[in-house]
Amino acid sequence: MAEVDVKQKILAANQAAAASIREGYQSSGTLVLNLISSPGSGKTTLLEATVKTLRDRHRLAAIEGDIATEKDADRLRAFGVPAHQILTGGACHLDARQVNQALETVGDPLVACDILFIENVGNLICPTSYDLGEDFKVALLSVVEGDDKPFKYPAIFSRAAVAVLTKMDLLPHVSFDLAAVRNQIRTLNPEGRLLEVSAKTGEGMDQWYRLLEEALERKKSGRSALAG
Amino acid sequence: MKKRQPEKMHEVGIATEIYRMSRAIAEEHGGGPLEDVFVRVGELTAVEPDLLEFAWQALTMETPDARSKLHVEYCPAVQMCQSCGQTPERARGRWLPLCPNCGTLLKVEGGQELDLERVSFLEKE
C-alpha cells in the first residue's frame, strides 16, 4: 500500500477558473459582483432598479444563474442591458467554469463592461463555496424571510463583504427584529458592510449606488474594490 | 438525450472533485485501487460531512475503488476575541455575539477548510 500527502484545495479546479476570470477583469477594471440569496429575496428586482439608474453612466452586464427559464435575463434585457442566462439544469449553484464558458460564448457584451453582476442560483447554502472570480460577494436577505437567517446560514453571511437587507418597505408589516439581524451579521462579519434598502420605494438605494460607484472607481484605479 | 453529471446535491459535486483528484494521484503512482482518502471540511463551507461520505459511496460503487473509504475531519469555525485573545467554546452551529469574558465583538476565524489531505491506495497487481 502507498500513501501520498496531498494537501490541496478540493476546489482547486474551480479556484483556477475563478483566478483566470479575476485576472481578465483586473486588466479591464471591471467590477464583478456575485449576488447570493434565497429565492424571492429580491436579487433581480434590486438589479432592475440598479440598471435603470446606472445604465446611462456605466456599461453594465449581467449573468443570471437559474435552474430553469430565461425569465431573469429577460427582465434585465428589457432595460437594454446585455444579460446571459446560465441554466444549471438542477445544480444549486454557479461554478467558475460555467462563468468562463459564458464569457467565451458571449464575448464582448460581458467582457467589455464596467460592472458585471452575476446573479447566482437562489440558494443561501451551496453558492457560498464557489468562487466565481468576483471582487466581492453580496448577500441579500429580505425582511419577510425572518430575523433568524444570518445565524442559520452563517457561511454566506461571514463571507459576503456586503450584506443587503431588502424589502425594507415591508418592515412595518412583518415581525422582524432589525436590531437582532444587524447584530447577527456584525457578529459573523465584523468588517462587512450592511445596507438596508427597498428597491420598490427607493429607500436606501442611494447608498447602494454609492457603494457600487466607489467600488468601481477603486477597481479602475487598480486598488481592491472595497476599502479596508 | 444529453447525459448529465449527477451534480444536483452539491456534496456530489465536491465528492466528484475529491474522487477525480484522488484517482489522478493514484494513477501517477501505478494506478491501483484507492484505500483511504482523508479530507478536511470546515464548518463554514456549507458541506455536510455525512452527505459527503454518502456521495463518496455512491460515486465509487461498482468501480475498482468501491472498497475505499472517505474520512472527513470536521473543522469548526473558531470565534476569536481580538481584545482578550480568548476563543470561547460554543456548540456547533451556535454563534456567540460577544465575548463572554470581556464583552467585545467576536471574530469568526477558520472553518473555511476544504482540503484533500492524503490518499492511500494499493499497488497495482
Does residue B59 sit within a domain? yes
Does residue B18 sit within a domain? yes
Crossing angle of the two packed helices B49-60 and B10-28, in degrees rounded to 10: 60
Cell of B95: 454563534
Nearest residue on chain A to B15, alpha-carbon basis: A10
B120/A contact by beta carbon, under 8 A: yes
Phi (first) and psi of residue B38, to 5 degrees: -110, 125
Render pLDDT for B53-85 as a digit per residue (tens, 0 to 9).
999 999 999 999 999 999 999 999 998 998 999
How distant, in Å, are the alpha carbons of A218, A227, B7 from that of A111?
19, 24, 28
Domain of B68, in residue numbers? 10-76+111-121
How big is chain A, counted in residues? 228
B48/A contact by beta carbon, under 8 A: no
Does residue B98 sit within a domain? no
Would residue A198 be called left, alpha or beta, if left means φ above 0 and alpha means ψ between -120 and 50 degrees?
Answer: beta
Beta strands in A55-159 (DSSP E): 60-66, 83-87, 115-119, 136-142
Does residue B22 sit within a domain? yes
Q: How confident is the model at residue B7 (pLDDT cuts 50, 70, 90)?
A: very low
How distant, in Å, are the alpha carbons of A89, A124, B87 from that of B3?
12, 28, 49
The CATH fold of domain A27-218 = Rossmann fold (3.40.50)
Helix (H) or strand (E) holding A73: helix A71-77
Q: How far apart are CA A79 and CA A114, in angstroms?
A: 16
Work out how many domains chain B is built from and give that number. Answer: 1
B10/A contact by beta carbon, under 8 A: yes
Render pLDDT for B26-63 as a digit per residue (tens, 0 to 9).
999 988 999 999 999 999 888 999 999 999 999 999 99
What CATH number did the domain enclosing B19 receive? 3.30.2320.50
For chain A, list residues with pLDDT below 70: 228
User: Could you tell me which residues are beta bridge partners of residue A180?
Assistant: none
Render pLDDT for A29-88 as a digit per residue (tens, 0 to 9).
999 999 999 999 999 999 999 999 999 999 999 999 999 999 999 999 999 999 999 999
Optimal mutation site among B51, B68, B115, interface A, most CBs of chain A within 10 A: B115
Give contacts of A9 with chain B, Cβ < 8 Å.
Answer: 114-116
